[in-house]
Amino acid sequence: MSESNVLTHKCPNCGGPLLFEPKSQKFHCEYCGSSFTEQEVTAFEAQQNAAKVSEDSVSDFSASATGEITDENKIVRENADETEKSGENADENTVGLFLCPSCGAELVTDATTASTFCYYCHNPVVLTERLSGQFLPEKILPFQIEREEAEQEFLDWVGRKKFVPNSFFNKKQIQNLSGVYFPYWAVDAALNGELSADAMNLRVWVVGDTEYTEHSKYAISRAGQTQFRDLIKNALTKNLSDKMVGAVQPFDMRAAISFKNQYLSGFLTEKRDIEFAEMKENVEQEFRQYADGLMESTIVGYNSVSNLRSRQQINLLDEAYVLLPIWLVTYKEKGNNKLFYYAMNGQTGKVAGVLPIDKKKLWLVSSALSLVVLLLGIFVGYMMS
């Protein structure tokens, strides 16, 4: 059980918890109403850490002077070593036990949780040991859409669907709305490729009573370099079967910034449990298929193309571990209390999920269309008679 590896970002003015606010892209304290930039929060925490290091150094010196730095300090150092080792082997554990830095309550999490909320004091906490070392993300794409906007975006999306029951348009039926940073691999690649094919054009014309046919055969050749940026691949096992999370892409990775854990405050975060080496072969094949498709798209103006042959050599493959924002929506349908689940891109607002169908609406529209077609048929038949 660890407390030193659990962090709550505190307000420099009152000590209350800070939450990242997507609309302003600042960190807001709900207690005193103050807001701070990421640079201000980082500078304050650096100052606090420096003061703590200085205080700890004085304490160690005092203990040493009185002869108290013996077995107790040895045990502390051994425990620190064990903590470091346990952090390296965090993937082997199915759950983790941490202490809330605000109230001291025990936090129980699964193996991939990297930020959450305390169940008792409800303060946001970041489990820093799960986002360090080899699991330190290179980039993060901060949330751009805040909670209220996400709710409205979801209801607007539902409202655009014509066959959804009227009772489904109710903000009060949104049971849960959680902002989650999910782990992904963003992959860049450069390929040199060659493509060849056989093509043919057929021309037919008539002179007098004679029909002429001309077959023109061509040897097609293409060569060039193809570059790809930010192919996004899921890095969390529990999302492999969740098509919604993948359906909210794309993300504009130009807005991604260097990772700082302050942006996790107020949101849930999952760390990766799929390594890039596990998907490398499939990713390379995907790039080759994309490159082949681009080259094939340049072969135009022929009646037929056959015997396509291609070779794609990957010269560069560079992966980055990134955290991307997604809102998860749980919605309860009025009447039967059935739960529906949806995902929303935390940057663009794109929504994915399956909506219920009002069979009565569908029947009425189908009947009306059938009636229109029938009347048109009768009218056309009457005009032709």
What is the three-class DSSP state of 187? Answer: strand
Tokens of 31: 């207690």
| Highest-scoring range by mean pLDDT, 58-72, 120-134, 157-171 | 120-134
pLDDT in tens, 219-276: 999 999 999 999 999 999 989 887 888 899 999 999 999 999 999 999 999 999 999 9
For tokens 């008679």, the residue is 385
Q: Which of 347-356, 358-367, 375-384 ranks highest by mean pLDDT?
A: 347-356
DSSP string, 291-349: HHHHHHTT--S-SEEEEEEEEEEEEEEEEEEEEEEEEEEEEEPTTT--EEEEEEETTT-
Q: Quick one: pLDDT at residue 88? A: 45
Classified as helix, coil or strand, 275 is: coil
**Rounded Cα–Cα distance for residues 112 and 115 (Å):** 9
Average pLDDT over residues 110-116: 90
What is the structure's pLDDT at 60? Answer: 52
Model confidence band, residue 94 (pLDDT cutoffs 50, 70, 90): low
User: What pLDDT score was predicted for residue 104?
Assistant: 85
Instruction: Write the DSSP string, 77-141.
Output: HHHHHHHHHHHHTGGG-SEEEEE-TTT--EEEEETTEEEEE-TTT--EEEEGGGGSGGG--SEE-
The verdict on whether omega for the bond into residue 250 sits within 30 degrees of 0, i.e. cis, is: yes
**Is residue 131 over pLDDT 60?**
yes
Residue entry with tokens 């892209």: 25
Which of the listed ranges 47-61, 75-89, 108-122 does the model predict with the highest average pLDDT? 108-122
Tell me which of 95 and 160 has the higher pLDDT: 160
Helices (H) and strands (E) in the chain, counts: 6, 16
Mean pLDDT comparison of 69-78, 103-112, 138-147, 149-158, highest-scoring range:
138-147
Mean pLDDT, range 83-110, rounded to an integer = 66
Model confidence over 60-93: pLDDT tens digits?
544 444 444 344 333 333 433 444 444 444 444 4
Q: According to the model, what pLDDT value does residue 121 have?
A: 87
pLDDT 10s digits, 164-199? 777 666 677 777 889 999 999 999 999 999 999 999
CB of 267 within 8 A of CB of 340?
Answer: no
Q: For residue 169, what pLDDT is reported?
A: 63
- The DSSP call for residue 379 is H
pLDDT of residue 86: 43
Rounded Cα gap, residues 238 and 273, in angstroms: 9
Mean pLDDT taken over the chain = 83
pLDDT at 9: 94
Helix (H) / strand (E) containing 238: none
Residue 212 has pLDDT above 70, yes or no: yes
Instruction: Determine contact, residues 285/63, Cβ cutoff 8 Å.
Output: no
Regarding predicted confidence, which is higher, 371 or 201? 201
> What average pLDDT does this structure show over 16-22?
95
Q: List phi, psi (to 5°) of 47.
A: -65, -40
In eight-state DSSP terms, residue 10 is B
Report how far residue 231's alpha carbon sits from residue 189's, in angstroms, rounded to the nearest whole number.
Answer: 9
For the segment 335-356, the average pLDDT, to the nearest whole number, is 86
Query: Which amino acid is residue 171, in one-letter code?
Result: K
Q: Where are the domains of the chain?
A: 6-136, 147-354
> With contact defined as beta carbons under 8 Å apart, do 177 and 150 qualify?
yes
Q: Could you tell me the pLDDT band of residue 385, with boundaries at 50, 70 and 90?
A: low
8 Å CB contact between 256 and 139? yes
313 has pLDDT over 70:
yes
